[in-house]
Protein backbone atom coordinates (compact mmCIF):
# COMPACT_ATOMS: atom_id res chain seq x y z
CA UNK A 1 0.00 0.00 0.00
CA UNK A 2 2.75 2.41 0.97
CA UNK A 3 4.80 1.70 -2.15
CA UNK A 4 1.71 2.41 -4.23
CA UNK A 5 1.26 5.79 -2.58
CA UNK A 6 4.89 6.57 -3.33
CA UNK A 7 4.26 5.68 -6.97
CA UNK A 8 1.29 8.03 -7.14
CA UNK A 9 3.33 10.79 -5.53
CA UNK A 10 6.13 10.30 -8.05
CA UNK A 11 3.67 10.47 -10.96
CA UNK A 12 2.04 13.65 -9.72
CA UNK A 13 5.43 15.19 -9.09
CA UNK A 14 6.51 14.15 -12.58
CA UNK A 15 3.63 15.97 -14.23
CA UNK A 16 3.82 18.92 -11.84
CA UNK A 17 7.47 19.78 -11.48
CA UNK A 18 8.92 17.63 -14.30
CA UNK A 19 9.10 20.52 -16.76
CA UNK A 20 11.03 22.58 -14.17
CA UNK A 21 13.67 19.88 -13.93
CA UNK A 22 14.24 19.85 -17.68
CA UNK A 23 17.81 20.92 -18.43
CA UNK A 24 16.94 22.44 -21.83
CA UNK A 25 14.10 24.13 -23.67
CA UNK A 26 12.23 21.16 -25.22
CA UNK A 27 11.67 23.06 -28.47
CA UNK A 28 15.23 24.34 -28.88
CA UNK A 29 16.52 23.17 -32.25
CA UNK A 30 20.23 22.47 -32.50
CA UNK A 31 20.92 20.93 -35.90
CA UNK A 32 24.72 20.50 -35.54
CA UNK A 33 24.11 18.25 -32.52
CA UNK A 34 21.27 16.20 -34.00
CA UNK A 35 20.88 12.52 -33.06
CA UNK A 36 23.59 12.78 -30.40
CA UNK A 37 24.06 9.66 -28.27
CA UNK A 38 23.33 9.76 -24.54
CA UNK A 39 26.17 11.40 -22.67
CA UNK A 40 27.15 14.04 -20.12
CA UNK A 41 25.72 16.93 -22.10
CA UNK A 42 22.46 15.28 -23.17
CA UNK A 43 21.58 12.54 -20.65
CA UNK A 44 19.31 10.69 -23.08
CA UNK A 45 20.71 12.09 -26.32
CA UNK A 46 19.08 14.42 -28.85
CA UNK A 47 16.45 13.86 -31.53
CA UNK A 48 16.54 14.47 -35.29
CA UNK A 49 16.35 18.24 -34.77
CA UNK A 50 18.93 18.27 -32.00
CA UNK A 51 16.35 18.76 -29.24
CA UNK A 52 17.20 17.31 -25.84
CA UNK A 53 15.22 14.10 -25.36
CA UNK A 54 15.18 14.22 -21.55
CA UNK A 55 13.72 17.72 -21.59
CA UNK A 56 11.10 16.64 -24.12
CA UNK A 57 10.18 13.62 -22.01
CA UNK A 58 9.78 15.73 -18.87
CA UNK A 59 7.67 18.32 -20.66
CA UNK A 60 5.77 15.53 -22.37
CA UNK A 61 4.63 14.26 -18.97
CA UNK A 62 2.46 17.32 -18.71
CA UNK A 63 0.72 16.46 -21.98
CA UNK A 64 0.44 12.74 -21.53
CA UNK A 65 -0.45 12.67 -17.82
CA UNK A 66 -2.21 16.02 -17.64
CA UNK A 67 -4.48 15.45 -20.62
CA UNK A 68 -5.16 11.89 -19.51
CA UNK A 69 -6.22 13.20 -16.11
CA UNK A 70 -8.55 15.78 -17.66
CA UNK A 71 -10.04 13.24 -20.07
CA UNK A 72 -10.64 10.61 -17.41
CA UNK A 73 -12.22 13.12 -15.00
CA UNK A 74 -14.59 14.54 -17.65
CA UNK A 75 -15.54 10.95 -18.47
CA UNK A 76 -16.14 10.26 -14.78
CA UNK A 77 -18.49 13.22 -14.44
CA UNK A 78 -20.46 12.49 -17.64
CA UNK A 79 -20.60 8.75 -16.96
CA UNK A 80 -21.73 9.15 -13.35
CA UNK A 81 -24.47 11.60 -14.34
CA UNK A 82 -25.68 9.24 -17.07
CA UNK A 83 -25.62 6.27 -14.71
CA UNK A 84 -27.54 8.15 -12.02
CA UNK A 85 -30.04 9.34 -14.61
CA UNK A 86 -30.60 5.72 -15.63
CA UNK A 87 -30.88 4.45 -12.06
CA UNK A 88 -33.15 7.22 -10.78
CA UNK A 89 -35.07 8.35 -13.85
CA UNK A 90 -37.58 5.53 -14.21
CA UNK A 91 -37.81 2.66 -16.68
CA UNK A 92 -38.06 4.67 -19.91
CA UNK A 93 -35.11 6.86 -18.96
CA UNK A 94 -33.15 3.79 -17.92
CA UNK A 95 -33.80 2.13 -21.27
CA UNK A 96 -32.90 5.26 -23.26
CA UNK A 97 -29.69 5.94 -21.36
CA UNK A 98 -28.53 2.34 -21.42
CA UNK A 99 -29.19 1.96 -25.18
CA UNK A 100 -27.24 5.18 -25.72
CA UNK A 101 -24.42 3.68 -23.69
CA UNK A 102 -24.62 0.45 -25.73
CA UNK A 103 -24.48 2.49 -28.93
CA UNK A 104 -21.27 4.17 -27.86
CA UNK A 105 -19.93 0.77 -26.84
CA UNK A 106 -20.73 -0.59 -30.32
CA UNK A 107 -17.36 0.60 -31.56
CA UNK A 108 -14.00 -0.60 -30.33
CA UNK A 109 -13.08 2.58 -28.45
CA UNK A 110 -9.66 3.25 -29.90
CA UNK A 111 -10.97 2.76 -33.45
CA UNK A 112 -13.76 5.23 -32.72
CA UNK A 113 -11.30 7.67 -31.14
CA UNK A 114 -9.02 7.49 -34.19
CA UNK A 115 -11.96 8.17 -36.50
CA UNK A 116 -13.34 11.05 -34.42
CA UNK A 117 -9.98 12.74 -33.89
CA UNK A 118 -8.98 12.18 -37.51
CA UNK A 119 -12.23 13.44 -39.01
CA UNK A 120 -12.45 16.50 -36.78
CA UNK A 121 -8.90 17.42 -37.68
CA UNK A 122 -5.77 16.61 -35.72
CA UNK A 123 -5.19 18.70 -32.63
CA UNK A 124 -5.40 18.71 -28.87
CA UNK A 125 -9.09 19.65 -28.63
CA UNK A 126 -10.15 16.93 -31.08
CA UNK A 127 -8.03 14.49 -29.11
CA UNK A 128 -9.69 15.36 -25.82
CA UNK A 129 -13.14 15.24 -27.41
CA UNK A 130 -12.46 11.89 -29.11
CA UNK A 131 -11.16 10.18 -25.98
CA UNK A 132 -13.89 11.63 -23.75
CA UNK A 133 -16.74 10.65 -26.07
CA UNK A 134 -15.39 7.09 -26.18
CA UNK A 135 -14.52 6.92 -22.49
CA UNK A 136 -17.57 7.53 -20.28
CA UNK A 137 -19.58 4.35 -20.79
CA UNK A 138 -17.93 2.15 -18.22
CA UNK A 139 -18.59 4.70 -15.46
CA UNK A 140 -22.23 4.89 -16.52
CA UNK A 141 -22.69 1.13 -16.34
CA UNK A 142 -21.08 0.84 -12.92
CA UNK A 143 -22.95 3.88 -11.55
CA UNK A 144 -26.27 2.52 -12.82
CA UNK A 145 -25.61 -0.97 -11.45
CA UNK A 146 -24.80 0.26 -7.95
CA UNK A 147 -27.53 2.89 -8.14
CA UNK A 148 -30.18 0.25 -8.85
CA UNK A 149 -28.95 -1.86 -5.93
CA UNK A 150 -29.29 1.15 -3.61
CA UNK A 151 -32.98 1.63 -4.43
CA UNK A 152 -34.20 -0.80 -1.82
CA UNK A 153 -31.66 0.03 0.88
CA UNK A 154 -33.24 1.11 4.15
CA UNK A 155 -31.69 4.54 4.36
CA UNK A 156 -32.55 5.39 0.77
CA UNK A 157 -36.17 4.32 1.25
CA UNK A 158 -36.25 6.38 4.47
CA UNK A 159 -34.90 9.41 2.66
CA UNK A 160 -37.49 9.02 -0.08
CA UNK A 161 -40.32 8.67 2.45
CA UNK A 162 -39.01 11.69 4.32
CA UNK A 163 -39.67 13.66 1.14
CA UNK A 164 -36.09 14.32 0.03
CA UNK A 165 -35.94 15.31 -3.63
CA UNK A 166 -34.35 12.82 -6.07
CA UNK A 167 -31.55 15.32 -6.59
CA UNK A 168 -30.78 15.46 -2.88
CA UNK A 169 -30.95 11.66 -2.59
CA UNK A 170 -28.55 11.38 -5.50
CA UNK A 171 -26.21 13.91 -3.96
CA UNK A 172 -26.19 12.64 -0.36
CA UNK A 173 -26.82 8.91 -0.71
CA UNK A 174 -25.87 7.73 -4.18
CA UNK A 175 -22.71 9.68 -4.96
CA UNK A 176 -20.89 8.70 -1.72
CA UNK A 177 -21.76 5.02 -2.23
CA UNK A 178 -20.60 5.14 -5.84
CA UNK A 179 -17.25 6.77 -5.20
CA UNK A 180 -15.15 3.74 -4.18
CA UNK A 181 -16.14 1.64 -7.20
CA UNK A 182 -15.92 4.58 -9.57
CA UNK A 183 -12.42 5.36 -8.32
CA UNK A 184 -11.33 1.87 -9.33
CA UNK A 185 -12.94 2.34 -12.75
CA UNK A 186 -11.25 5.74 -12.95
CA UNK A 187 -7.75 4.27 -12.53
CA UNK A 188 -8.45 1.97 -15.46
CA UNK A 189 -9.74 4.83 -17.58
CA UNK A 190 -6.79 7.04 -16.64
CA UNK A 191 -4.42 4.35 -17.89
CA UNK A 192 -6.57 3.93 -21.00
CA UNK A 193 -6.39 7.67 -21.67
CA UNK A 194 -2.58 7.65 -21.43
CA UNK A 195 -2.44 4.80 -23.93
CA UNK A 196 -5.03 6.50 -26.14
CA UNK A 197 -3.23 9.84 -26.19
CA UNK A 198 0.07 8.28 -27.14
CA UNK A 199 -1.54 5.95 -29.70
CA UNK A 200 -3.31 8.85 -31.43
CA UNK A 201 -0.13 10.91 -31.19
CA UNK A 202 1.75 8.05 -32.78
CA UNK A 203 -0.77 7.85 -35.63
CA UNK A 204 -0.42 11.61 -36.16
CA UNK A 205 -3.98 12.42 -35.03
CA UNK A 206 -3.18 13.63 -31.52
CA UNK A 207 -1.11 16.38 -29.96
CA UNK A 208 0.71 18.00 -32.85
CA UNK A 209 4.46 18.59 -33.16
CA UNK A 210 6.48 20.48 -32.08
CA UNK A 211 4.71 19.91 -28.73
CA UNK A 212 6.57 17.16 -26.88
CA UNK A 213 4.07 14.33 -26.41
CA UNK A 214 5.30 10.77 -25.91
CA UNK A 215 3.41 9.18 -28.81
CA UNK A 216 4.47 11.95 -31.19
CA UNK A 217 8.07 11.55 -30.00
CA UNK A 218 7.88 7.84 -30.87
CA UNK A 219 6.58 8.70 -34.32
CA UNK A 220 9.64 10.90 -34.89
CA UNK A 221 12.03 8.41 -33.34
CA UNK A 222 10.76 5.61 -35.56
CA UNK A 223 12.30 7.25 -38.63
CA UNK A 224 15.75 7.00 -37.08
CA UNK A 225 15.42 3.47 -35.78
CA UNK A 226 18.56 2.28 -37.55
CA UNK A 227 20.93 5.05 -36.53
CA UNK A 228 19.68 5.81 -32.99
CA UNK A 229 17.54 2.94 -31.72
CA UNK A 230 17.75 4.18 -28.11
CA UNK A 231 15.75 7.26 -29.02
CA UNK A 232 12.75 4.98 -29.52
CA UNK A 233 13.11 3.34 -26.13
CA UNK A 234 12.58 6.35 -23.82
CA UNK A 235 9.07 7.58 -24.71
CA UNK A 236 7.74 4.02 -24.74
CA UNK A 237 9.33 3.29 -21.39
CA UNK A 238 7.71 6.42 -19.96
CA UNK A 239 4.27 5.29 -21.14
CA UNK A 240 4.77 1.77 -19.77
CA UNK A 241 5.99 3.06 -16.40
CA UNK A 242 3.00 5.37 -15.99
CA UNK A 243 0.37 2.87 -17.15
CA UNK A 244 1.88 0.11 -15.02
CA UNK A 245 1.95 2.22 -11.85
CA UNK A 246 -1.62 3.43 -12.38
CA UNK A 247 -2.77 -0.15 -12.95
CA UNK A 248 -1.02 -1.19 -9.73
CA UNK A 249 -2.82 1.56 -7.84
CA UNK A 250 -6.07 0.32 -9.36
CA UNK A 251 -5.34 -3.27 -8.28
CA UNK A 252 -4.60 -2.22 -4.70
CA UNK A 253 -7.77 -0.10 -4.55
CA UNK A 254 -9.83 -2.95 -5.98
CA UNK A 255 -8.50 -5.41 -3.42
CA UNK A 256 -9.12 -2.96 -0.60
CA UNK A 257 -12.68 -2.43 -1.83
CA UNK A 258 -13.30 -6.19 -2.09
CA UNK A 259 -12.05 -6.66 1.47
CA UNK A 260 -14.30 -3.86 2.70
CA UNK A 261 -17.30 -5.43 0.95
CA UNK A 262 -16.51 -8.77 2.56
CA UNK A 263 -16.45 -7.37 6.06
CA UNK A 264 -19.48 -5.12 5.51
CA UNK B 1 -34.82 -18.22 -23.52
CA UNK B 2 -36.70 -17.27 -26.72
CA UNK B 3 -38.08 -14.14 -25.11
CA UNK B 4 -34.59 -13.32 -23.87
CA UNK B 5 -33.04 -13.81 -27.32
CA UNK B 6 -35.71 -11.65 -28.96
CA UNK B 7 -35.12 -8.88 -26.43
CA UNK B 8 -31.40 -9.00 -27.17
CA UNK B 9 -32.03 -8.96 -30.93
CA UNK B 10 -34.27 -5.92 -30.62
CA UNK B 11 -31.63 -4.26 -28.50
CA UNK B 12 -28.91 -5.02 -31.07
CA UNK B 13 -31.08 -3.47 -33.81
CA UNK B 14 -31.59 -0.32 -31.77
CA UNK B 15 -27.89 -0.11 -31.01
CA UNK B 16 -26.88 -0.58 -34.65
CA UNK B 17 -29.33 2.10 -35.77
CA UNK B 18 -27.84 4.40 -33.17
CA UNK B 19 -24.35 3.52 -34.34
CA UNK B 20 -25.24 4.32 -37.96
CA UNK B 21 -26.71 7.65 -36.86
CA UNK B 22 -23.66 8.46 -34.76
CA UNK B 23 -21.31 7.61 -37.63
CA UNK B 24 -23.26 9.66 -40.11
CA UNK B 25 -23.65 12.67 -37.87
CA UNK B 26 -19.93 12.74 -37.08
CA UNK B 27 -19.12 12.95 -40.78
CA UNK B 28 -22.04 15.35 -41.37
CA UNK B 29 -20.58 17.74 -38.82
CA UNK B 30 -17.00 17.24 -39.98
CA UNK B 31 -15.19 20.39 -41.05
CA UNK B 32 -15.00 20.84 -44.81
CA UNK B 33 -17.58 20.33 -47.54
CA UNK B 34 -18.11 16.65 -48.44
CA UNK B 35 -19.88 17.57 -51.68
CA UNK B 36 -16.87 19.62 -52.73
CA UNK B 37 -14.61 16.66 -51.97
CA UNK B 38 -16.69 14.33 -54.13
CA UNK B 39 -16.90 16.86 -56.94
CA UNK B 40 -13.14 17.45 -56.80
CA UNK B 41 -12.48 13.72 -57.00
CA UNK B 42 -14.67 13.46 -60.10
CA UNK B 43 -13.70 16.52 -62.07
CA UNK B 44 -10.23 17.37 -60.79
CA UNK B 45 -9.03 20.85 -59.98
CA UNK B 46 -11.71 23.26 -61.21
CA UNK B 47 -15.24 22.60 -60.01
CA UNK B 48 -18.00 24.68 -61.60
CA UNK B 49 -20.78 25.72 -59.25
CA UNK B 50 -23.44 23.72 -61.14
CA UNK B 51 -21.44 20.48 -60.76
CA UNK B 52 -21.22 21.11 -57.05
CA UNK B 53 -24.99 21.61 -56.94
CA UNK B 54 -25.50 18.39 -58.91
CA UNK B 55 -23.36 16.41 -56.47
CA UNK B 56 -25.24 17.93 -53.56
CA UNK B 57 -28.56 16.90 -55.06
CA UNK B 58 -27.33 13.37 -55.85
CA UNK B 59 -26.03 12.67 -52.38
CA UNK B 60 -28.94 14.40 -50.70
CA UNK B 61 -26.47 16.73 -49.00
CA UNK B 62 -28.56 19.81 -49.82
CA UNK B 63 -31.77 18.47 -48.30
CA UNK B 64 -30.84 18.43 -44.65
CA UNK B 65 -29.57 15.79 -42.26
CA UNK B 66 -32.38 13.23 -42.39
CA UNK B 67 -32.70 13.10 -46.16
CA UNK B 68 -28.94 12.77 -46.52
CA UNK B 69 -28.94 10.04 -43.90
CA UNK B 70 -31.66 8.19 -45.79
CA UNK B 71 -29.78 8.53 -49.08
CA UNK B 72 -26.74 7.08 -47.36
CA UNK B 73 -28.32 4.26 -45.37
CA UNK B 74 -30.70 2.84 -48.03
CA UNK B 75 -28.04 1.33 -50.33
CA UNK B 76 -26.02 0.35 -47.25
CA UNK B 77 -28.86 -1.86 -46.03
CA UNK B 78 -28.63 -3.65 -49.38
CA UNK B 79 -24.92 -4.21 -48.80
CA UNK B 80 -23.78 -1.43 -51.12
CA UNK B 81 -21.02 0.59 -49.50
CA UNK B 82 -20.99 3.22 -52.24
CA UNK B 83 -18.01 4.72 -54.06
CA UNK B 84 -14.81 6.21 -52.76
CA UNK B 85 -15.00 9.96 -52.92
CA UNK B 86 -11.33 10.12 -53.91
CA UNK B 87 -10.93 7.45 -56.58
CA UNK B 88 -14.60 7.06 -57.51
CA UNK B 89 -14.23 3.27 -57.36
CA UNK B 90 -16.54 0.98 -55.40
CA UNK B 91 -15.57 0.76 -51.75
CA UNK B 92 -16.50 -2.87 -51.23
CA UNK B 93 -13.77 -4.65 -53.33
CA UNK B 94 -11.03 -2.57 -51.69
CA UNK B 95 -12.55 -3.15 -48.28
CA UNK B 96 -12.70 -6.87 -48.97
CA UNK B 97 -9.02 -6.95 -49.96
CA UNK B 98 -8.12 -5.09 -46.79
CA UNK B 99 -10.07 -7.56 -44.68
CA UNK B 100 -8.29 -10.46 -46.31
CA UNK B 101 -5.09 -9.07 -44.76
CA UNK B 102 -6.55 -8.30 -41.35
CA UNK B 103 -8.45 -11.54 -40.75
CA UNK B 104 -5.41 -13.90 -40.84
CA UNK B 105 -3.48 -11.43 -38.69
CA UNK B 106 -6.24 -11.27 -36.07
CA UNK B 107 -6.74 -15.05 -36.06
CA UNK B 108 -3.03 -15.79 -35.77
CA UNK B 109 -2.71 -13.15 -33.04
CA UNK B 110 -5.58 -14.73 -31.14
CA UNK B 111 -4.04 -18.22 -31.52
CA UNK B 112 -0.68 -17.00 -30.22
CA UNK B 113 -2.40 -15.23 -27.35
CA UNK B 114 -4.47 -18.26 -26.33
CA UNK B 115 -1.48 -20.54 -26.88
CA UNK B 116 0.55 -18.55 -24.37
CA UNK B 117 -2.18 -17.60 -21.89
CA UNK B 118 -3.84 -20.97 -21.30
CA UNK B 119 -0.71 -22.95 -20.33
CA UNK B 120 0.62 -19.98 -18.37
CA UNK B 121 -2.62 -19.58 -16.40
CA UNK B 122 -2.76 -23.32 -15.69
CA UNK B 123 0.84 -23.33 -14.49
CA UNK B 124 0.31 -20.22 -12.39
CA UNK B 125 -2.79 -21.53 -10.65
CA UNK B 126 -1.16 -24.81 -9.70
CA UNK B 127 0.24 -23.14 -6.63
CA UNK B 128 -1.47 -19.79 -6.09
CA UNK B 129 0.91 -17.32 -4.48
CA UNK B 130 3.94 -19.40 -5.48
CA UNK B 131 6.83 -17.86 -7.38
CA UNK B 132 5.52 -19.13 -10.70
CA UNK B 133 2.15 -17.53 -10.02
CA UNK B 134 3.65 -14.23 -8.95
CA UNK B 135 6.00 -14.23 -11.92
CA UNK B 136 3.16 -14.87 -14.35
CA UNK B 137 1.07 -12.09 -12.83
CA UNK B 138 4.00 -9.68 -12.92
CA UNK B 139 4.82 -10.46 -16.56
CA UNK B 140 1.15 -10.19 -17.53
CA UNK B 141 0.80 -6.86 -15.71
CA UNK B 142 3.81 -5.41 -17.44
CA UNK B 143 2.60 -6.84 -20.74
CA UNK B 144 -0.78 -5.19 -20.31
CA UNK B 145 0.90 -1.81 -19.81
CA UNK B 146 2.97 -2.02 -23.00
CA UNK B 147 1.27 -0.20 -25.87
CA UNK B 148 0.96 -2.33 -29.00
CA UNK B 149 2.75 0.18 -31.21
CA UNK B 150 5.79 0.29 -28.96
CA UNK B 151 5.98 -3.49 -28.69
CA UNK B 152 5.76 -3.63 -32.48
CA UNK B 153 8.60 -1.14 -32.85
CA UNK B 154 10.73 -3.06 -30.34
CA UNK B 155 10.14 -6.33 -32.20
CA UNK B 156 11.07 -4.65 -35.49
CA UNK B 157 14.18 -3.25 -33.85
CA UNK B 158 15.22 -6.65 -32.51
CA UNK B 159 14.20 -9.13 -35.19
CA UNK B 160 14.33 -7.03 -38.34
CA UNK B 161 16.95 -4.35 -37.75
CA UNK B 162 19.43 -5.91 -35.31
CA UNK B 163 19.14 -9.64 -36.06
CA UNK B 164 17.74 -9.43 -39.58
CA UNK B 165 15.74 -12.64 -39.16
CA UNK B 166 12.32 -11.48 -40.21
CA UNK B 167 10.92 -8.92 -42.63
CA UNK B 168 9.12 -5.97 -41.06
CA UNK B 169 7.41 -3.90 -43.72
CA UNK B 170 4.64 -4.93 -46.08
CA UNK B 171 2.87 -8.24 -46.63
CA UNK B 172 4.60 -9.81 -49.63
CA UNK B 173 5.58 -13.18 -48.12
CA UNK B 174 4.04 -15.37 -45.41
CA UNK B 175 6.99 -14.46 -43.16
CA UNK B 176 5.71 -10.88 -43.11
CA UNK B 177 2.85 -11.88 -40.86
CA UNK B 178 5.08 -13.21 -38.06
CA UNK B 179 6.08 -9.96 -36.37
CA UNK B 180 2.67 -8.26 -36.49
CA UNK B 181 0.95 -11.43 -35.29
CA UNK B 182 3.46 -11.79 -32.47
CA UNK B 183 2.87 -8.17 -31.44
CA UNK B 184 -0.86 -8.75 -31.37
CA UNK B 185 -0.58 -12.17 -29.73
CA UNK B 186 1.63 -11.00 -26.85
CA UNK B 187 -0.86 -8.24 -26.08
CA UNK B 188 -3.73 -10.73 -26.08
CA UNK B 189 -1.73 -13.12 -23.89
CA UNK B 190 -1.08 -10.43 -21.29
CA UNK B 191 -4.74 -9.62 -20.66
CA UNK B 192 -6.00 -13.16 -21.14
CA UNK B 193 -3.56 -14.68 -18.63
CA UNK B 194 -4.79 -12.48 -15.80
CA UNK B 195 -8.46 -13.06 -16.55
CA UNK B 196 -8.01 -16.82 -16.94
CA UNK B 197 -6.00 -16.99 -13.75
CA UNK B 198 -8.59 -15.21 -11.64
CA UNK B 199 -11.37 -17.19 -13.36
CA UNK B 200 -9.73 -20.50 -12.41
CA UNK B 201 -8.98 -19.34 -8.86
CA UNK B 202 -12.53 -18.17 -8.37
CA UNK B 203 -13.89 -21.42 -9.74
CA UNK B 204 -11.67 -23.39 -7.33
CA UNK B 205 -12.97 -21.36 -4.41
CA UNK B 206 -16.61 -22.26 -4.99
CA UNK B 207 -18.30 -23.65 -1.87
CA UNK B 208 -19.76 -26.64 -3.70
CA UNK B 209 -16.33 -28.08 -4.45
CA UNK B 210 -15.51 -29.32 -0.90
CA UNK B 211 -18.99 -30.83 -0.81
CA UNK B 212 -18.30 -32.73 -4.01
CA UNK B 213 -14.92 -33.83 -2.70
CA UNK B 214 -16.42 -35.17 0.49
CA UNK B 215 -18.94 -37.07 -1.53
CA UNK B 216 -15.96 -38.85 -3.09
CA UNK B 217 -15.84 -37.25 -6.53
CA UNK B 218 -12.29 -37.56 -7.92
CA UNK B 219 -10.01 -34.54 -8.25
CA UNK B 220 -9.72 -34.90 -12.03
CA UNK B 221 -13.48 -35.17 -12.45
CA UNK B 222 -14.02 -32.06 -10.33
CA UNK B 223 -11.54 -30.08 -12.40
CA UNK B 224 -13.10 -31.24 -15.64
CA UNK B 225 -16.79 -31.03 -14.99
CA UNK B 226 -17.03 -28.37 -12.28
CA UNK B 227 -14.04 -26.04 -12.32
CA UNK B 228 -13.58 -25.80 -16.10
CA UNK B 229 -17.16 -24.75 -16.99
CA UNK B 230 -17.15 -22.26 -14.15
CA UNK B 231 -13.88 -20.72 -15.31
CA UNK B 232 -15.20 -20.65 -18.89
CA UNK B 233 -17.90 -18.07 -18.19
CA UNK B 234 -15.59 -15.07 -17.74
CA UNK B 235 -13.45 -16.32 -20.64
CA UNK B 236 -16.40 -15.92 -22.98
CA UNK B 237 -16.80 -12.30 -21.97
CA UNK B 238 -13.12 -11.86 -22.60
CA UNK B 239 -13.54 -12.87 -26.21
CA UNK B 240 -15.71 -9.81 -26.67
CA UNK B 241 -12.99 -7.66 -25.14
CA UNK B 242 -10.30 -9.45 -27.14
CA UNK B 243 -12.20 -8.75 -30.33
CA UNK B 244 -12.04 -5.05 -29.53
CA UNK B 245 -8.37 -5.44 -28.69
CA UNK B 246 -7.70 -7.32 -31.94
CA UNK B 247 -9.47 -4.69 -34.04
CA UNK B 248 -7.75 -1.81 -32.26
CA UNK B 249 -4.44 -3.61 -32.29
CA UNK B 250 -4.81 -4.37 -35.96
CA UNK B 251 -5.37 -0.69 -36.76
CA UNK B 252 -2.15 0.43 -35.12
CA UNK B 253 -0.04 -2.63 -35.82
CA UNK B 254 -0.88 -2.58 -39.51
CA UNK B 255 0.19 1.01 -39.73
CA UNK B 256 3.54 0.21 -38.07
CA UNK B 257 4.21 -2.82 -40.24
CA UNK B 258 2.84 -1.14 -43.41
CA UNK B 259 0.42 -4.04 -43.84
CA UNK B 260 -2.38 -3.15 -46.27
CA UNK B 261 -5.22 -4.32 -44.01
CA UNK B 262 -8.28 -2.73 -42.47
CA UNK B 263 -6.24 -0.47 -40.17
CA UNK B 264 -4.12 1.02 -42.94
CA UNK B 265 -7.30 1.30 -45.03
CA UNK B 266 -9.01 3.27 -42.26
CA UNK B 267 -6.10 5.56 -41.43
CA UNK B 268 -5.46 6.18 -45.13
CA UNK B 269 -9.11 7.00 -45.71
CA UNK B 270 -9.20 9.41 -42.77
CA UNK B 271 -6.09 11.22 -43.96
CA UNK B 272 -7.51 11.47 -47.50
CA UNK B 273 -10.91 12.53 -46.04
CA UNK B 274 -12.47 9.73 -48.07
CA UNK B 275 -15.65 9.59 -45.99
CA UNK B 276 -17.48 6.75 -47.77
CA UNK B 277 -14.51 4.49 -46.94
CA UNK B 278 -14.38 5.68 -43.33
CA UNK B 279 -18.12 5.10 -42.94
CA UNK B 280 -17.82 1.63 -44.42
CA UNK B 281 -15.09 0.56 -41.99
CA UNK B 282 -16.82 2.07 -38.97
CA UNK B 283 -20.20 0.51 -39.75
CA UNK B 284 -18.63 -2.84 -40.52
CA UNK B 285 -16.72 -2.88 -37.21
CA UNK B 286 -19.86 -1.87 -35.34
CA UNK B 287 -21.89 -4.67 -36.94
CA UNK B 288 -19.19 -7.22 -36.20
CA UNK B 289 -18.80 -5.97 -32.64
CA UNK B 290 -22.52 -5.92 -31.87
CA UNK B 291 -23.08 -9.37 -33.37
CA UNK B 292 -20.22 -10.91 -31.39
CA UNK B 293 -21.45 -9.31 -28.18
CA UNK B 294 -24.96 -10.56 -28.92
CA UNK B 295 -23.60 -14.08 -29.35
CA UNK B 296 -21.69 -13.69 -26.08
CA UNK B 297 -24.78 -12.56 -24.19
CA UNK B 298 -26.72 -15.55 -25.46
CA UNK B 299 -23.88 -17.97 -24.70
CA UNK B 300 -23.54 -16.44 -21.26
CA UNK B 301 -27.17 -17.05 -20.53
CA UNK B 302 -26.97 -20.60 -21.85
CA UNK B 303 -23.93 -21.40 -19.69
CA UNK B 304 -25.08 -19.72 -16.52
CA UNK B 305 -28.84 -19.64 -16.01
CA UNK B 306 -28.39 -17.54 -12.87
CA UNK B 307 -27.67 -14.46 -14.98
CA UNK B 308 -30.83 -12.41 -14.96
CA UNK B 309 -32.40 -10.72 -17.91
CA UNK B 310 -32.32 -7.22 -16.52
CA UNK B 311 -28.58 -6.98 -16.10
CA UNK B 312 -27.55 -9.20 -18.99
Q: Which of A102, A108, A149, A255 to mutate to test the interface with B (most CBs of B within 10 A)?
A: A108
Question: Cα(A263)–Cα(A216) distance, rounded to whole angstroms?
Answer: 47
Q: Are B240 and B294 in contact (CB under 8 A)?
A: no
pLDDT tens per residue, chain B (312 residues)? 677 778 888 888 888 888 888 888 887 777 766 666 666 666 665 666 677 677 776 666 666 778 778 777 777 777 777 777 777 778 788 888 888 888 888 888 888 988 998 888 888 888 877 888 888 888 888 888 888 888 888 888 888 777 777 777 776 777 777 788 888 888 888 888 888 888 888 877 778 888 888 888 887 888 777 777 777 777 777 777 777 778 778 888 888 888 888 888 888 888 887 888 888 888 888 888 888 888 887 777 777 666 554 443
- C-alpha torsion A123→B25→B75→B51, nearest 10: -70
> Is the CB of A103 less than 8 angstroms away from the CB of B22?
yes
Question: Cα(B158)–Cα(B201) distance, rounded to whole angstroms?
Answer: 36
> Is the CB of B147 less than 8 angstroms away from the CB of A198?
yes
Please enumerate residues of A whose Cβ is less than 8 A from a Cβ of B: 99-100, 102-104, 106-112, 114-116, 118-121, 145, 191, 195, 198-199, 202-205, 215, 218, 222, 225-226, 229, 232, 236, 239-240, 243-244, 247-248, 251
Question: How distant is the Cα of B218 from the closest Cα of chain A, in angstroms?
Answer: 31
Q: What is the pLDDT of residues B2-33, one digit of tens each?
A: 777 788 888 888 888 888 888 888 877 777 66
Chain A residue whose CA is closest to B151: A236
Which of A116, A218, A247 lies closest to B26 in CB terms?
A: A116
Question: How distant is the Cα of B72 from the closest Cα of chain A, in angstroms?
Answer: 18
Question: Cα(A24)–Cα(A20) distance, rounded to whole angstroms?
Answer: 10
Question: Cα(B170)–Cα(A67) distance, rounded to whole angstroms?
Answer: 34
Give contacts of B145 with chain A, Cβ < 8 Å.
191, 239-240, 243-244, 247
Q: What is the pLDDT of residues A17-59, one digit of tens each?
A: 777 777 777 776 766 766 667 777 767 677 766 677 777 888 8
> Is the CB of A114 less than 8 angstroms away from the CB of B267?
yes
ipTM of predicted assembly, 2 dp:
0.79
Amino acid sequence: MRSVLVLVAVLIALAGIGPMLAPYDPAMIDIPNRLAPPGAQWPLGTDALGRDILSRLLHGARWSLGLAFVISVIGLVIGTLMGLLAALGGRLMDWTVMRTTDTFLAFPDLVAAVVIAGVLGAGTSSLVFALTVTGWMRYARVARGIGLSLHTRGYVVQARLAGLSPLAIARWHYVPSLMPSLTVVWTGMFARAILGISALGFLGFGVQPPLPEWGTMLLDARLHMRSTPLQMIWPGLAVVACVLSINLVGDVLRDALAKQDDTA
Amino acid sequence: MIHFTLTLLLRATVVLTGAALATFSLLWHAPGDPALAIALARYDAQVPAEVLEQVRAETGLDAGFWTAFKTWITPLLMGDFGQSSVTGRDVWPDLFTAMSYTLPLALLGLCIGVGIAVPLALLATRRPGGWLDRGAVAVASIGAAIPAYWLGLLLILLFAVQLGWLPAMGARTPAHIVLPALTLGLGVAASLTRILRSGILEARGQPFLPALRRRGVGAAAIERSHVAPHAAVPVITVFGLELAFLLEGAVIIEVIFARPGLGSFLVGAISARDFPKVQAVVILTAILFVLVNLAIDIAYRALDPRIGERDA
